[in-house]
Amino acid sequence: MARLPRIADLTPNVSGWSFFLCTRKETRVGRTGNPYLEIGLQDASGEARAKVFQDVDAITLEFDAGEFVKAQGRSNVYQGRTEIILDKIRRVIDRDRAEGFREEECIRCAPRPVDEMWTELLARLDSVQDPQLRSLLLRIVRTHEERLRIWPAARVVHHAYRSGLLEHILQIMKVSLFLADEYGARRDLLVAGALLHDIGKLREMSYETTTDYTVEGNLVGHIVIGIGMLHDAVREEPGVPAELVTEIEHLILSHHGSLELGSPVVPKTIEAFLLAAVDDLDAKLHQIRQHLEADDTPGRFTAMHKRLDRSLLKPSGS
Amino acid sequence: MARLPRIADLTPNVSGWSFFLCTRKETRVGRTGNPYLEIGLQDASGEARAKVFQDVDAITLEFDAGEFVKAQGRSNVYQGRTEIILDKIRRVIDRDRAEGFREEECIRCAPRPVDEMWTELLARLDSVQDPQLRSLLLRIVRTHEERLRIWPAARVVHHAYRSGLLEHILQIMKVSLFLADEYGARRDLLVAGALLHDIGKLREMSYETTTDYTVEGNLVGHIVIGIGMLHDAVREEPGVPAELVTEIEHLILSHHGSLELGSPVVPKTIEAFLLAAVDDLDAKLHQIRQHLEADDTPGRFTAMHKRLDRSLLKPSGS
Amino acid sequence: MARLPRIADLTPNVSGWSFFLCTRKETRVGRTGNPYLEIGLQDASGEARAKVFQDVDAITLEFDAGEFVKAQGRSNVYQGRTEIILDKIRRVIDRDRAEGFREEECIRCAPRPVDEMWTELLARLDSVQDPQLRSLLLRIVRTHEERLRIWPAARVVHHAYRSGLLEHILQIMKVSLFLADEYGARRDLLVAGALLHDIGKLREMSYETTTDYTVEGNLVGHIVIGIGMLHDAVREEPGVPAELVTEIEHLILSHHGSLELGSPVVPKTIEAFLLAAVDDLDAKLHQIRQHLEADDTPGRFTAMHKRLDRSLLKPSGS
Amino acid sequence: MARLPRIADLTPNVSGWSFFLCTRKETRVGRTGNPYLEIGLQDASGEARAKVFQDVDAITLEFDAGEFVKAQGRSNVYQGRTEIILDKIRRVIDRDRAEGFREEECIRCAPRPVDEMWTELLARLDSVQDPQLRSLLLRIVRTHEERLRIWPAARVVHHAYRSGLLEHILQIMKVSLFLADEYGARRDLLVAGALLHDIGKLREMSYETTTDYTVEGNLVGHIVIGIGMLHDAVREEPGVPAELVTEIEHLILSHHGSLELGSPVVPKTIEAFLLAAVDDLDAKLHQIRQHLEADDTPGRFTAMHKRLDRSLLKPSGS
Amino acid sequence: MARLPRIADLTPNVSGWSFFLCTRKETRVGRTGNPYLEIGLQDASGEARAKVFQDVDAITLEFDAGEFVKAQGRSNVYQGRTEIILDKIRRVIDRDRAEGFREEECIRCAPRPVDEMWTELLARLDSVQDPQLRSLLLRIVRTHEERLRIWPAARVVHHAYRSGLLEHILQIMKVSLFLADEYGARRDLLVAGALLHDIGKLREMSYETTTDYTVEGNLVGHIVIGIGMLHDAVREEPGVPAELVTEIEHLILSHHGSLELGSPVVPKTIEAFLLAAVDDLDAKLHQIRQHLEADDTPGRFTAMHKRLDRSLLKPSGS
Amino acid sequence: MARLPRIADLTPNVSGWSFFLCTRKETRVGRTGNPYLEIGLQDASGEARAKVFQDVDAITLEFDAGEFVKAQGRSNVYQGRTEIILDKIRRVIDRDRAEGFREEECIRCAPRPVDEMWTELLARLDSVQDPQLRSLLLRIVRTHEERLRIWPAARVVHHAYRSGLLEHILQIMKVSLFLADEYGARRDLLVAGALLHDIGKLREMSYETTTDYTVEGNLVGHIVIGIGMLHDAVREEPGVPAELVTEIEHLILSHHGSLELGSPVVPKTIEAFLLAAVDDLDAKLHQIRQHLEADDTPGRFTAMHKRLDRSLLKPSGS
ipTM of the complex: 0.88
Q: Please give, rounded to a whole number of angstroms, the shortest distance from the CA of F27 to a CA of chain B.
A: 7
**Inter-chain touch B268–A243, beta carbons under 8 Å:** no
Largest CA distance in chain B: 72
pLDDT bracket for residue C157 (50, 70, 90): low
Mean pLDDT of D234-246: 96
Neighbours of chain A (3+ CB pairs under 8 A): B, C, E, F
Note the pLDDT tens digit of each residue in A54-104: 998 899 999 998 899 999 999 998 877 789 999 999 999 999 999 889 988
Give contacts of B216 with chain C, Cβ < 8 Å. 246
E146-150 LR contacts (CB < 8 Å, sep 24+): E147/E202, E147/E207, E148/E199, E148/E202, E149/E114, E149/E118, E150/E114, E150/E207
Q: Is B264 helix (H, G, I), strand (E, B) or coil?
A: coil
For residue E318, pLDDT over 50 is answered with: no
Return the pLDDT at B29: 76
B91-97 LR contacts (CB < 8 Å, sep 24+): B91/B62, B91/B63, B91/B64, B91/B67, B92/B19, B92/B67, B92/B68, B96/B19, B96/B70
Note the pLDDT tens digit of each residue in B35-70: 899 999 999 888 899 999 999 889 999 999 889 999
**Inter-chain touch F301–D213, beta carbons under 8 Å:** yes
Return the pLDDT at A318: 43
**Residues in chain A where the model's pLDDT stays below 50:** 318
Return the pLDDT at D30: 74
Say how far apart CA D101 and CA C21 lie, in whole Å: 78
Is the Cβ–Cβ distance between F256 and F223 less than 8 Å?
yes
Give contacts of E283 with chain F, Cβ < 8 Å. none
Nearest residue of D to residue E258, measured between CA atoms: D260
For residue D40, pLDDT over 60 is answered with: yes
Q: F11-39 in b/e burial notation, b at 16+ Cβ within 10 A? A: eeebebbbbbbbbebebebeeeeebbbeb
Return the pLDDT at B163: 94
Picking from B183, B288, B309, the nearest residue to A285 by CB comes out as: B183
**Half-sphere exposure of D74 toward its Cβ, with a 13 Å CA cutoff?**
4
Q: What percent of chain D has pLDDT over 90?
A: 75
Return the pLDDT at A159: 79
Return the pLDDT at A16: 94
Q: Any CB–CB contact under 8 A between F215 and chain B?
A: yes
Note the pLDDT tens digit of each residue in C11-61: 999 999 999 999 889 888 776 667 899 999 999 888 899 999 999 889 999
Return the pLDDT at D254: 98
Q: Any CB–CB contact under 8 A between B219 and chain A?
A: no
Whether chains E and A touch (3+ CB pairs under 8 A) is answered by yes
Report the 10 Å Cβ neighbour count for C142: 10
Return the pLDDT at B31: 67
Q: Which residues contact E263 (CB under 8 A, 6 or more apart)?
A: D264, E223, E253, E254, E255, E256, E257, E276
Give contacts of C27 with chain A, Cβ < 8 Å. 31
Nearest residue of F to residue B301, measured between CA atoms: F215
Strand runs labelled E in chain C? 15-29, 35-43, 46-52, 68-78, 81-91, 205-207, 211-213
Return the pLDDT at C318: 43
Q: Please give, rounded to a whole number of angstroms, the shortest distance from the CA of B259 to a CA of chain C.
A: 5
Return the pLDDT at A33: 66
Is the Cβ–Cβ distance between F138 and F118 less than 8 Å?
no
Q: Please give, rounded to a whole number of angstroms, the shortest distance from the CA of C30 to a CA of chain E.
A: 9
**Inter-chain touch A269–B174, beta carbons under 8 Å:** no
pTM as predicted = 0.91
Note the pLDDT tens digit of each residue in A166-179: 999 999 999 999 99
Return the pLDDT at D79: 73
Beta bridge partners of E75: E84
* Radius of gyration from C-alpha coordinates of chain E: 22
The DSSP 8-state label assigned to residue C238 in this structure reads: T
Which residue in E125, C315, A311, A230 sits closest to B266, CA to CA? A311
| H helical segments located in chain F | 56-59, 114-126, 131-143, 145-150, 164-183, 187-196, 201-204, 215-219, 222-236, 242-253, 270-294
Phi, psi (degrees; rounded to nearest 5) at F81: -140, 140
Q: Any CB–CB contact under 8 A between A270 and chain B?
A: yes
For residue C234, pLDDT over 70 is answered with: yes
Q: Any CB–CB contact under 8 A between E219 and chain D?
A: yes
pLDDT bracket for residue B181 (50, 70, 90): very high
Is the Cβ–Cβ distance between A198 and A147 less than 8 Å?
no
**Residues in chain F where the model's pLDDT stays below 50:** 318
Say how far apart CA D290 and CA D108 lie, in whole Å: 13
pLDDT bracket for residue E157 (50, 70, 90): low
Q: Please give, rounded to a whole number of angstroms, the shortest distance from the CA of B303 to a CA of chain F.
A: 13
For residue B240, pLDDT over 70 is answered with: yes
Which residue in B133, B184, B268 sits closest to A314, CA to CA? B268
Nearest residue of A to residue F221, measured between CA atoms: A265
Q: Any CB–CB contact under 8 A between B300 and chain A?
A: no
Return the pLDDT at B318: 43
Give contacts of D178 with chain C, Cβ < 8 Å. 175, 178
Say how far apart CA E187 and CA D302 lie, in whole Å: 53
Picking from F216, F221, F269, the nearest residue to A264 by CB comes out as: F221
Pick the residue with more confidence: E121 or C31?
A: E121
